[in-house]
A and B are shown apart, each in its own frame.
Chain A
Amino acid sequence: MENILQQLVNGLSLGSIYALIALGYTMVYGIIKLINFAHGEIYMLGAFIGYVFIQYFHLPFFVALVGAMICCAGIGVLIEFLAYRPLRGSTRIAALITAIGVSFLIQNVMKLRFFAGAEPRAFPQAIEQKMIEVGPIMVSNIQLLILGTTVVLMLGLQIIVMKTKMGKAMRAVSVDADAAMLMGISVNQTISFTFAIGSALAAAGGVMIGLYYNSIDPMMGVTPGLKAFVAAVFGGIGLIPGAALGGFSIGLIETFVSASSIEGLSAYKDAIVYFILIIVLLIKPTGLLGKNTKEKV
């Protein structure tokens, strides 16, 4: 029982990170129907920017976190502007291939010695890890920080999307870009806004994982990026609550499989995550929260 509770906390912490990345995937998909494969690299860049702020500028952790979020928001907007916008209106496969190209480009530029180099770096312990006893289980203060920050960011996102003018415009463009233009909504600005928000969330995930695992490298975005993409599809791509649910689900599944006492199972944790995705999609092709929408005439 203690073990299950313990793994639940571990799974939710990891799931938070997946959820933060998945939100960006799903929002971008919702608005331009593009799987932004460079999104995992934004997460990686977020980690590195946070590292620079803490290591070289000696900024407090949360200042570095917010700084990395702002920088990555800008980087996300720039990537959309330079790489995806010129392809608006061309085939989806062209945009997808471009996204994969951007992803490789960022990884390899970061591997250059001038930038980060290929070797992993130790992320500074800006907040010292402490274990806290909560009833029968041990929770680290970093885990609580991850969970708390994620909840705050998700609530913030919810407020932005549901209550602000730009958030409403984002939903309007997602459902009907032409009609949105007839309202005087600038589709380009709205798409930029979406990239900014999604990238900021991924950056927050990157900085927090740096603190959690103490190690960052230019390839660190690949696997979490893929898993977060799986999470977004799992929850229902294009749906914000789906991304959150999918992220936490994948984090939990992965953690429980790793911790399971079945001999050798943990080596297959990733395979099991993908296997579950396939099963879910076979039963419900639109994902857990997806509706099989029919247009009303």
Chain B
Amino acid sequence: MLKVKDLTVKYGVIEAVHGVSFEVKKGEIVSLVGANGAGKTTILRTISGLVRPAGGSIQFKELELTKTAPQKIVAAGLSQVPEGRHVFSGLSVMENLEMGAFLKKKNQDSKRVLQEVFERFPILADRKNQDAATLSGGEQQMLAMGRALMSEPDLLLLDEPSMGLAPIFIKEIFDIIQEIQKQGTTVLLIEQNANMALSIADRGYVLETGSLVLSGTGEELLASEEVRKAYLGG
């Protein structure tokens, strides 16, 4: 579904991502793990068209994303929950969700999608008229995820959804990610929290300072010596 090939991204003269290649197949959860500053966010922003690469290609369905406008990428069925959540403050929870469905027509179908999001995140229904800025970190994460689901994506990108959350919220978020996959959405998950991310992943990749150093099934990576040493404290 998503094929990244020899992706190189530069900020000015500094190369943040060096020729990275990986793949996400329909129906999978793929986790991309790596330490802070490894280039994970850069890769996701490049996939969504917010950053243009210095080289390489990103194939999504029939589209070459490196040449596609961000709104066309969303329209093609790819949606991202950005790092740090980035809910729209000053807009209500409901309005945030409406923005998630910006490219959709308002009709029976969009009502159904909203209903599904409210069922998955009941807290959002309770808080729908509240300013998004007044939500707690965990609630904002749920809003950011709900908002991304409003466009009914085929592929959902998640950038460090567990960042800064209490353990109980983290567990809940990861359960929800698995439910989302079961209902047919493919997931590319980015995390520093390698243990959690790999344990729910079908396959995973390990990114170190802009290069992929390991790949395998989630189980293989969790068991591997390098991953244990580098990310799981031995």
Contacts and interface: CB of A to CB of B under 8 A. Distances in A.
A165 B164 contact: no
Interface in B85-128: 86-91, 95, 98-100, 102-103
A36 to B, nearest CB: 22
Contacts of A178: 50, 82, 86
Contacts of B71: 181, 184-186
B80 interface: yes
B70 A176 contact: no
A185 B99 contact: yes
Main secondary structure of the interface of A (DSSP, over half): helix
Given A171-B91, A176-B86, A183 B137 contact: no
Nearest to B90: A175
Number of contact residues on A: which range applies?
10 to 19
A168 B99 contact: yes
Contact of A184 (B50, B75, B82, B137): B75
A179 interface: yes
Contacts of A175: 88-91
B173 interface: no
A169 B99 contact: yes
B133 A183 contact: no
B168 to A, nearest CB: 19
A175 B92 CA distance: 13
B103 A184 contact: yes
Given A171-B91, A175-B89, A176-B86, A182 B74 contact: yes
Interface in B2-53: 48-50
B147 interface: yes
A182 B91 contact: no
Contacts of A71: none
Nearest to B81: A182
A179 B88 contact: yes
B74 A183 contact: yes
Contact of A172 (B48, B88, B137, B151): B88
B79 interface: yes
Contact of B50 (A171, A182, A297): A182
Interface string A160-191: 00000100110110011011111111100000
A296 interface: yes
Nearest to A174: B90
Contact of A183 (B50, B69, B147): B147
A262 to B, nearest CB: 43
28 contacts: A165-B98, A168-B91, A169-B102, A171-B90, A171-B95, A172-B88, A172-B91, A172-B99, A175-B88, A176-B86, A178-B50, A178-B82, A179-B82, A179-B87, A179-B88, A180-B99, A182-B79, A183-B74, A183-B99, A183-B102, A183-B147, A184-B102, A184-B151, A185-B71, A185-B102, A186-B71, A296-B89, A297-B164
Interface of B: 48-50, 69-71, 74-75, 79-80, 82, 86-91, 95, 98-100, 102-103, 133, 137, 140, 147-148, 151, 164
